[in-house]
Amino acid sequence: MKMHVAIVGAGMSGLSCASQLVRSGHTVALYDKGRGPGGRMSTRRMTTPLGDAHFDHGAQYFTVRDPAFMAQVARWSASGVAAPWPAAGTGAWVGVPTMNAVIKDMADQHDVTFGWHVRGLVRREDRWFLTGETAAGERLQAGPFDAVVVSLPPEQASAIVALHDLSLAATALAARSQPCWTGMFAFAERLPSRQDTVREAGLISWAARNGAKPGRKGPETWVVQASPHWSTQHIEDTVEQVTAALLAALSEALEETLPEPVTASAHRWRYAMSTGSNLGALWSAQSKIGVCGDWLLGPRVENAWISGRTLATRMMAREREEVA
């Protein structure tokens, strides 16, 4: 039996699940509260006196181990939306010309509605409806659907499914995400440092010269990500406070007195990374609700892709059993 499936969250795991379902003839509609494709692989664009500056302010790169994901990355490479980035280490890849290019490539193949914040689920006559609102506050409803997939961080996933499947909600509640403050800085000239990346230096977990990645253009840009510990301690600090702290930390790590940035900002990822589990994905044949995301395996882009694919496989296997 072919299903009409709603997927909440059009990041890597949700789109991976959608691709697997569509290949088997199912119909999928995705909904995401973001203004465009990316999720935690988003790219931020800022207007500066030197032109537009772009910052990969979420995931910095991804690695490949799984054979199926390796084949997917090879397709992205062949189409020019991904390339290796040796500066981040052997086997590191990035989207081209921005990190979200691979997400955009996936989203272009599906029915995705952006700017649609799903708030809850409603069950009517054995079918599912989504309720939510736009950024402007307009209330919306979508459906009916045969099944719903929630591809969100565990804290957000549990809030959506709690009223309808306590077992799924409890599993999500048991997971905990760590936050990450990310600083974004553009400079009028290239910083003289020979380093393109910084790892584990003071409060910095990772910093990178964004323009050193393949296919990047525009002014000199740096992305600075604080450690989970520091981010937790300063989770409610203002953007201005965090921006100043991360800029000072970058100066110290590069052992340079940095010029005044032409633009500077910070983004708070409340749900950046989780410790992961061995569950892979969650599917309830009774409630017809599924959950996927990297938090069900581990905090890597590849794991998000695998989780979505795993969920789709479980959903289809159960449907075949019921038909038989």
Could you give the CA distance from residue 143 to residue 116 in angstroms, rounded to a whole number?
Answer: 14
Q: Give the pLDDT of residue 324.
A: 44
Would residue 280 be called left, alpha or beta, if left means φ above 0 and alpha means ψ between -120 and 50 degrees?
Answer: left
The answer to whether residue 291 scores a pLDDT higher than 70 is: yes
Structure token pair of residue 232 = 């937790």
CA-only gyration radius of the chain, Å: 20
- pLDDT band at residue 276 under the 50/70/90 scheme: confident
Could you give the CA distance from residue 261 to residue 186 in angstroms, rounded to a whole number?
Answer: 5
Considering only CA atoms, which of 295, 317, 53, 300 is closest in space to residue 150?
Answer: 295
DSSP code, position 60: -
Scored b (16 or more CB within 10 A) or e, 18-39 reads bbbbbeeebebbbbbbbeebbb
Amino acid sitting at position 156? Q
* Crossing angle for the helix pair 12-23 and 301-323, to the nearest 10 degrees: 40
Q: What is the pLDDT of residues 175-202, one digit of tens each?
A: 888 999 999 999 999 999 999 999 999 9
Question: CA separation (Å) from 227 to 143, 199, 240, 261, 288?
Answer: 41, 10, 18, 22, 38
Q: Identify the residue whose tokens are 């590191």.
A: 92
- pLDDT band at residue 319 under the 50/70/90 scheme: low
Structure token pair of residue 51 = 């032109």
- pLDDT band at residue 322 under the 50/70/90 scheme: low
111-114 vs 117-124, strand pairing mode? unpaired
Q: Is 55 exposed, middle or buried (0-12, 13-18, 19+ CB in 10 A)?
A: buried
Average pLDDT score, the chain: 94
Mean pLDDT of 19-43: 93
Q: How many CA atoms lie within 13 A of 221 on its CB side?
A: 29
Structure token pair of residue 43 = 């790219």
- pLDDT band at residue 253 under the 50/70/90 scheme: very high
